[in-house]
Amino acid sequence: MPQPRIYLEFILTFLLGALAFFGLVCLFDPVPLSPAASLSHYPFLILGGLAGVIWARHPGAGRARRTTEAGWTFVGLMAFSTLGGALLLSSLSALQKFLAGYPIKPAGFVVPVCFGAGFGVLFGLYLQKTHNALREQTQSRKRLSLILQSLHDGVIVTDAAGRIELTNPAARALVPGFEELRPDEHLDEALARLTSPLEPSAEAMPPPHSPVLLATKARGRVLRGKAVPLFDLEGVGTGAVLVLEDVTFEHKIERLKSEFIIAAAHELKTPITVLSGFAEMLLDDRLDPEQRRDGLTRIHENAWQLNRILDVLLDISCVDSGLPLPLERHLHTVAELLDGAREYSRSTSTPQRFDFAVVAPDCRLIADKVKIAQVFINLLSNAVKFSPPSGVIRVTGAPEGGRYRFEVADQGVGMSEEEKARVFDRFFRADASDTALGGIGLGMSLVKAIIEAHGGEIWLDSQPGRGTRVSFALPLATEPSGANPAG
């Protein structure tokens, strides 16, 4: 159903066309009008009105119509401005003739109506142009506002005096306390109160084009702030824009990498120091055979320890680069896969007691025995490290569906929710006193990679003060016999 605005548009265009056509007739036939003569002009009024309606509904004119904020179309605006100009100039002309005592005749209004309508058209075009400019400016502001709201980085805009004018939601979320700022508060004062630079010599407000790391005093976030000055067309400073980027995760990774390098250097230095010390000792010709044998044994053990550390680094580099973890998979029983764990429990000098309880040890799995031993050694060393001296470390296993499930449980200090969420992350170290595999923060990450490379699954259950249980399941072998090497 047509809206009332459509009917109004028809009426206005009809009147505008009739007035214009009637003005042209009177211009070429300047005869004083009488009631009888006016009847002869009615057909021209009707023709002019119909012509105006046809023009208004023409596709070309329809494409030119634009709706204003009040709902009026371009044609409506032009009709009002044209009629308004004609009526205004006609009213002024009638007032002048009335004050001067001249007779008021219809033919005397032809020129005022035409000129008034012309000026009305020009004024309407000016209004339309102004309206379009304002509408485009409003749309640009709305678009800019949507862009600022959708950004994940915080944006803070200040005036020339440094007072905060605008902040996007990300900035208010990144810096707790921004919602409570005063409207006229300066940005440097707010940053000094809510953040602190990580570098002692840096200022809270970053210098232009120089990024500065800031730590929020609440929630412990690390932000990278970069300020850019704003200038107008004449080059006069009008304020500044501060962009805040959340780099908490990146900063933590960099810190963990630095700790990893220190720990790896320490772990590598220990066996190298032993190797060089005993090698130097063996150069002494006064040593008896027993001392030489002891020195060679120490060199052999530390050489293999150094080799294990390098194997861990190489395996992790393969995982990080997307390459498959190198495996030498063969058919083994569960009892054979536990040989490495039992050897570790016998050789380690620790007061904790180890308890092995395995169901169906003859179940067979296709696995890399060395890598699985590495998994058990890492899990057992972690259990030893975090268990009390009188604690018991249990290693259990049982078939479960088409898989075999192993579990290593301790009675140690347990883990918090944050530690459980990050236990398999690269470079995560719950304790700086880790040894070899765990000491460089890659142990549990490598364990997870080994289990997943075997097509298995690993998970962890822990509570503070109640110990930790690490479980992993490997698929049972489907081959009846023989070896199955895998790449």
**Residue 166: CATH number of its domain:** 3.30.450.20
| 103 shares a domain with 185 | no
User: What pLDDT sits at residue 246?
Assistant: 86
Last residue of a domain, one of 204, 230, 246: 246
User: What pLDDT sits at residue 71?
Assistant: 46
Specify the residue for token string 């047509």. Answer: 2
Q: Evaluate whether residue 480 is within a structural domain.
A: no
Choose the weakest-confidence range: 60-64, 97-101, 239-243.
60-64
What CA–CA distances, in Å, run from 86 to 22, 83, 111, 125?
Answer: 13, 5, 10, 15
* Three-state SS at 42: helix
The candidate with the shortest Cα–Cα distance to 175, out of 227, 229, 244, is 244
Rounded average pLDDT over 47-61: 55
On the question of pLDDT at 79 being above 60, the answer is yes
On the question of pLDDT at 395 being above 90, the answer is yes
| 371 shares a domain with 451 | yes
Q: Evaluate whether residue 484 is within a structural domain.
A: no
User: What pLDDT sits at residue 426?
Assistant: 67
Band (pLDDT 50/70/90 cuts) for residue 56 is: low
| 345 shares a domain with 302 | no
* Three-state SS at 368: coil
Distance of CA 387 to the CA centre of its chain: 40
pTM of the shown model: 0.48
- Residues 408-450: tens digit of each pLDDT: 999 888 888 878 877 877 666 555 444 433 455 667 888 888 9
Q: Which domain holds residue 315?
A: 251-320
| 164 shares a domain with 67 | no
**If you ran DSSP here, which 8-state letter would residue 221 be given?**
-
Q: How many domains does the chain have?
A: 4
- Dihedral-angle region of residue 299 (phi above 0 means left; psi in -120 to 50 means alpha; beta otherwise): alpha
Q: Evaluate whether residue 325 is within a structural domain.
A: no
Last residue of a domain, one of 295, 320, 345: 320
* Three-state SS at 96: helix
| 126 shares a domain with 105 | yes
Band (pLDDT 50/70/90 cuts) for residue 397 is: very high
| 470 shares a domain with 350 | yes
| 224 shares a domain with 183 | yes
Band (pLDDT 50/70/90 cuts) for residue 297 is: confident
| 270 shares a domain with 216 | no
Given the DSSP bridges, would you call strands 330-333 and 222-231 parallel, antiparallel or unpaired?
unpaired
